[in-house]
Amino acid sequence: MNVIKLHDKGAAVEDVQSRLALVGHLTDDQITGEFDEATAEALAAFCVNVGLAASREVNEKVWAALVDATYNMGDRTLYLRMPYFHGHDVLELQQALGALGFHRGVKDAIFGAYTELALRKFQMNMGLPNDGIAGAYTYAALRNLHHSWEGKGSSRALETLGFARAADVLESNAMCLFGTCEFSRSVASRMSNLAFATNPSSKIVSAESLSVAPYEGMMLVQVAVPGESGAAGDGDVPRVSYDSEETLPIRLAAAIEAARERAVPRMVVELPGTVWEDAGIDRSAQHFAITLLDAFCAAL
pLDDT for residue 9 is more than 90: yes
What is the full DSSP assignment across 31-64? --SB--HHHHHHHHHHHHHTTSPP-SSB-HHHHH
- The predicted pLDDT at position 270 comes to 92
Whether the model pTM is above 0.85: no
- The predicted pLDDT at position 278 comes to 73
- The predicted pLDDT at position 216 comes to 76
Q: How confident is the model over 35-48, as a mean pLDDT?
A: 94
User: CB–CB of 219/266 below 8 Å?
Assistant: yes
Q: Which CATH architecture has domain 88-149?
A: Orthogonal Bundle (1.10)
> Taking the CB of residue 140, how many other CB atoms lie within 10 A of it?
13
Domain locations along the chain: 11-69, 88-149, 167-299
- The predicted pLDDT at position 273 comes to 84
- The predicted pLDDT at position 75 comes to 93
96 or 166, greater pLDDT: 96
Q: Would you say the CATH fold of 88-149 matches that of 11-69?
A: yes
CA distances, 108 to each of 104, 115, 157, 162, 228 (Å):
12, 10, 23, 36, 37
231 or 64, greater pLDDT: 64
Q: How confident is the model over 97-124, as a mean pLDDT?
A: 89
- The predicted pLDDT at position 234 comes to 56
- The predicted pLDDT at position 160 comes to 47
Q: How confident is the model over 233-255, as a mean pLDDT?
A: 84
Q: How confident is the model at residue 173 (pLDDT cuts 50, 70, 90)?
A: confident
Q: How many residues belong to the chain?
A: 300
CA distances, 182 to each of 143, 185, 186, 211, 289 (Å):
39, 5, 6, 20, 14
- The predicted pLDDT at position 177 comes to 93
- The predicted pLDDT at position 226 comes to 84
pLDDT digits (tens, 9 = 90+) for 185-226: 999 999 999 888 888 888 889 988 776 667 777 899 999 988
Considering only 65-79, 93-107, 208-222, which range has the smallest mean pLDDT? 208-222
Q: How confident is the model over 252-264, as a mean pLDDT?
A: 89
pLDDT mean across residues, the chain: 87
Q: For 271, phi and psi rounded to 5 degrees?
A: -75, 160
pLDDT for residue 232 is more than 50: no
- The predicted pLDDT at position 161 comes to 47
Tell me whether the omega of the peptide bond preceding residue 83 falls within 30 degrees of 0, making it cis. Answer: yes
Percent of the chain whose predicted confidence (pLDDT) is above 70: 91
Identify the CATH assignment for 11-69 out of 1.10.101, 3.40.50, 1.10.10, 1.10.150: 1.10.101
Percent of the chain whose predicted confidence (pLDDT) is above 90: 53
pLDDT for residue 158 is more than 50: no
Q: For 36, phi and psi rounded to 5 degrees?
A: -100, -175
- The predicted pLDDT at position 45 comes to 94
Distance CA 185, CA 234 (A): 19
Q: For 9, phi and psi rounded to 5 degrees?
A: -135, 160
Distance CA 34, CA 11 (A): 9
- The predicted pLDDT at position 211 comes to 65
User: CB–CB of 206/189 below 8 Å?
Assistant: yes
Distance CA 57, CA 61 (A): 11
Residue 176 is classified by DSSP as E
Radius of gyration for the chain, computed over Cα atoms and rounded to the nearest angstrom = 25
Do β-strands 239-241 and 219-224 pair in parallel, antiparallel, or remain unpaired? unpaired
pLDDT digits (tens, 9 = 90+) for 128-153: 988 999 999 999 999 999 888 887 76
